[in-house]
């Protein structure tokens, strides 16, 4: 990624994002030279006016908390959503929140019945007479230790519509109004479920009239019944569906008359496969997405989750290559199994 060759000072880093979106793939791409460099620039850059982020899980050696503290001490707007209901990290997150509050950071705790699981960071920077918003959206936690052993994706962008959506979400979290609509992001519990189902349905409709039709999904778990029903229906219309589910999958693949065109596999490798990826091909249109949610009722209905589009063709190819690498061996395994049966 271009971050690797960018200088450490904030001006050059932000100009790299300004040149075009950047997609990083951890741990193959360094967390330190991408996200950590991004947040370190906020308090050091005199043109930065605000740093806002979410903390679901973080580590003692992460620069995120120090960056928030230094930004507050420098007189910048410093906002952090700390999710106190992050399982197994409740005590740690309470300690972080108290330390941040003592330093003058605006700490918010979300909602009693809505866990904040989205991984998003927003930096606002004054450039001449305008304010530019720079965004990071990820599939994994801002955790320096797990970033070395968990496989995850992160998107850096200055896209105005994505940045406006993220700004609206931070306003919602901090109590300044409920978003009326989202421009590009898919957000739970607002429209994520319906938008994903619309994407799957469009693929099924394309398959029904003989157009190229394919769904590729990579998640930790797939248990949501309405999503599974849509996948079954798309399969019955002829769509090719490939799913990588690291842990739980309630969908039954390769069932005659139900899911003959669906392949499901779990991947066990050197790193824990943690990213959530979605690719929908319906005729000539293919959309690419990364995000924080698994396809479970709790993620789609009871959590704040964000899925972002990957729109740059070069980054789309990188996204596709990652999914293709996972499924290549699966296809060979199916061919060998079929040959043995014959």
**What per-residue string of b and e applies to 1-18 under the rule 16 or more CB within 10 Å gives b?**
bebeebeeebeebbebbe
Dist. CA 232–CA 259, nearest whole Å: 6
CB atoms within 10 A of CB 295: 27
Could you give the angle at the alpha carbon of 137 between the alpha carbons of 45 and 189, nearest 5°? 135
Give which of 152, 160, 116, 168 is closest to 311, Cα–Cα: 160
User: Cα–Cα distance between 44 and 292 in angstroms, integer?
Assistant: 29
| Given 117, 136, 274, 319, the catalytic residue | 117
How many DSSP H helices and E strands does the chain contain? 9, 16
> Is 85 exposed, middle or buried (CB count within 10 Å of its CB: 0-12, 13-18, 19+)?
middle
Q: What is the DSSP letter of 34?
A: I
Query: 33: how many CB neighbours lie within 10 A of its CB?
Result: 17
Cβ–Cβ under 8 Å, residues 53 and 18: no
Q: Residue 117 catalytic?
A: yes
Does residue 136 have a cis bond before it (omega within 30 degrees)? no
Count of Cβ atoms closer than 10 Å to residue 139 Cβ: 27
Count of alpha carbons within 13 angstroms of residue 339, beta-carbon side? 6
* Contact yes or no for 140/150 (Cβ under 8 A): yes
Q: What angle do CA 147, 153, 156 make, to 5 degrees?
A: 110
Q: Which residues are catalytic?
A: 117
């Amino acid at each position: 990624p271009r971050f690797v060759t960018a200088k450490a000072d904030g001006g050059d880093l932000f100009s790299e994002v300004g040149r075009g979106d950047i997609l990083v793939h951890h741990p193959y791409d360094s967390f330190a030279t991408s996200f950590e460099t991004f947040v370190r620039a906020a308090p050091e850059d005199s043109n930065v006016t605000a740093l806002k982020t979410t903390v679901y899980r973080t580590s003692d050696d992460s620069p995120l908390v120090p960056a928030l503290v230094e930004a507050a001490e420098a007189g910048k707007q410093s906002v952090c959503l700390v999710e106190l209901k992050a399982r197994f990290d409740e005590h740690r997150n309470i300690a972080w929140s108290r330390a941040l509050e003592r330093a003058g950071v605006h700490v918010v705790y979300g909602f009693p019945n809505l866990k904040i699981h989205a991984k998003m960071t927003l930096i606002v920077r004054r450039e001449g007479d305008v304010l530019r918003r720079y965004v990071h959206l990820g599939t994994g936690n801002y955790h320096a230790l797990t970033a070395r052993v968990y496989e995850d994706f992160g998107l850096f962008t200055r896209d105005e519509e994505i940045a406006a959506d993220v700004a609206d979400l931070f306003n919602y979290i901090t109590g300044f109004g409920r978003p009326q609509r989202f421009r590009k992001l898919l957000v739970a519990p607002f429209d994520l479920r319906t938008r994903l189902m619309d994407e799957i349905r469009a693929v099924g409709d394309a398959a029904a009239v003989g157009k190229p039709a394919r769904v590729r999904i990579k998640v930790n778990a797939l248990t949501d019944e309405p999503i599974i029903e849509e996948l079954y229906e798309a399969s019955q219309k002829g769509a090719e569906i490939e799913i990588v589910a690291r842990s739980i999958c309630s969908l039954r693949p390769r069932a005659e008359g139900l899911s003959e065109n669906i392949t499901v596999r779990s991947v066990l490798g050197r790193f824990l496969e943690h990213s959530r990826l979605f690719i929908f091909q319906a005729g000539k249109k293919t959309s690419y997405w990364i995000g924080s949610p698994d396809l479970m009722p709790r993620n789609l209905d009871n959590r704040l989750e964000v899925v972002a589009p990957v729109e740059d063709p070069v980054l789309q190819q990188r996204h596709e290559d990652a999914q293709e690498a996972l499924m290549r061996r699966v296809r060979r395994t199916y061919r060998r199994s079929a040959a043995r049966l014959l």
